[in-house]
Structure 1
Amino acid sequence: MTFYTEMQAMAHELIEEFGQAGAVKRLTPPDPVLGGEPVTSPYPATLVPMAYEARYIDGTTIETGDMQIYISSVGLAIEPTVGDVVTANGTDYAIVNGYPNKYDGITAVVFIVQGRIAS
């Protein structure tokens, strides 16, 4: 077990203990040739949503109501990215920024995303 795998396991334990069940939803666009309807695929996740402290809210990059969401990478089938939607506290948050935290370039210790209430 590498150092980063151990850190990933520790992050997962903390998120599991203090977090909640949620989901990361990804919208797959229709086939460009065959057409059809876009498909939303939910991926179960364990996460911790936290409001940004007032000192970080600048009204442009971070807006009032944005949430910093820590998502466990253990067992998550996808890497959350801009355009995905995270469901936390019964609310949908569109990911507007994300940090995969791959310190060794391979192992995602934890995903930290900035979520904005989806409209």
Structure 2
Amino acid sequence: MANAIYARLQETARRLIEKYGQLGTVTRITPPDPVEGGDGTETAYPAKLVPMTYDQRYIDGTNITTADRQVYISSVGIAIVPTPGDIVSAGGVTYHVLAEDPNNYDGITNVVFIVQGRLA
């Protein structure tokens, strides 16, 4: 059963991202058919998001570089859960998703999606 506090946290995250964020897309590329071949299929999902610079203490130059961004994506209204391999675009900048944290504390409600994006 869903905990009501997570629904409230999800709404708070949505409201803040709506107020301070920007429109963007999360693009998922499905691989080509293993038998038929061909090209992969790109599907773009509109999203509201906020790219933020990592705090200096987290930047080690290998796992997290100075060009990486921590991208907060509203979980409300997006049809997918962003995963590594997806592409996030906002404000004319494109990031490859390297890591994701769905912030799903009760196993039911995705509060907010936080991904590590590296410049494409």
TM-score, scaled relative to structure 2: 0.94
Deviation at residue 116 of structure 1 after TM alignment: 0.2
* 2:83 aligned partner, one-letter code: T
Aligned to 1:103: 105
Identity within the alignment, % = 58
Q: Which runs of 5+ in 2 are unaligned?
A: none
User: Runs of 4+ in structure 1 displaced over 2 angstroms?
Assistant: none
Supply the distance in 1 between the matched residues of 2:106 and 2:57 (Cα, whole angstroms): 31
Deviation at residue 89 of structure 1 after TM alignment: 2.2
Supply the distance in 2 between the matched residues of 1:55 and 1:4 (Cα, whole angstroms): 29
Aligned to 2:53: 51
CA RMSD of aligned residues (A): 1.1
Decide which of 24, 37, 42 is 1:22's aligned counterpart: 24
Supply the distance in 2 between the matched residues of 1:31 and 1:5 (Cα, whole angstroms): 38
* 1:84 aligned partner, one-letter code: D
Deviation at residue 30 of structure 1 after TM alignment: 0.9
Deviation at residue 6 of structure 1 after TM alignment: 1.4
TM-score, scaled relative to structure 1: 0.95
Deviation at residue 19 of structure 1 after TM alignment: 0.3
Task: Report the more deviating stretch, 52-61 or 41-50.
Answer: 52-61
> Size of the alignment, in residue pairs?
118
Aligned to 2:91: 89
Aligned to 2:37: 35
Q: Which runs of 5+ in 1 are unaligned?
A: none
